[in-house]
Amino acid sequence: MVVWIIGLSGAGKTTVAQELRSQIISNGRPCILLDGDVVRAILGDDLGHTIDDRRKNADRICRMCAYLDSQGVNVVCAILSIFHESQDWNRSHIEDYFEVFLDAPLDMVMQRDTKGIYARAKAGEANNVVGVDIEFPRPASPNLTLPNNFTTSPEELAASIFEKIEHKLS
């Protein structure tokens, strides 16, 4: 099974994904976490953040998830995922695919700005920032949308996902 967690930078994807992985493992099932930023680094950090490079990175992660799923590995993937084509590809190539949209308002993630990405973009020090100069298209048909205004704990958000997927886990 692959759980694909989508959201803006700063929406809480990684934190919720880490918690979901812990909940899956605590329930006796193996699981790995793939984080979009970490996968970039593991693969040599050879891509920038242009649309073309983002598409290449997304394709790599989609294929990696499909491969792991074909081997019976449960995967939680935290990814920006701005391409509907990637989400469609996953649906047609990953047998047990579950898409979660962590819906955090852009103004709130910009205010939190945990990585300083939005501040750098506003100051003209960074470009190709999703939500600033690259559009963030909402996912077309997620299996689950979880509003995140940062009043619900990551544990509760992860529990909401776990409840929906528990019966599908390997």
Count of Cβ atoms closer than 10 Å to residue 20 Cβ: 26
Q: What is the CATH number of the domain that holds 134?
A: 3.40.50.300
The bridge status of strand 2-6 relative to strand 97-103 is parallel
The token pair that represents 157 in the structure block: 């958000």
pLDDT at residue 170 is higher than 80: no
39 burial (CB, 10 Å; 0-12 / 13-18 / 19+) is middle
- What is the four-CA torsion angle of 114, 146, 159, 92, rounded to 10 degrees? -100
Q: Which domain holds residue 144?
A: 2-168
- Give the C-alpha separation, 112 to 3, whole Å: 25
Domains held by the chain: number: 1
Let me know if 153 is a catalytic residue. no
Which of 81, 86, 92, 153 is the catalytic position?
81
- Give the C-alpha separation, 8 to 137, whole Å: 10
How does pLDDT run across 92-150, given as a tens digit for each residue? Answer: 999 999 999 999 999 999 999 888 999 999 999 999 999 999 999 999 999 999 999 99
How does pLDDT run across 42-91, given as a tens digit for each residue? Answer: 999 899 899 999 999 999 999 999 999 999 999 999 999 999 999 999 99
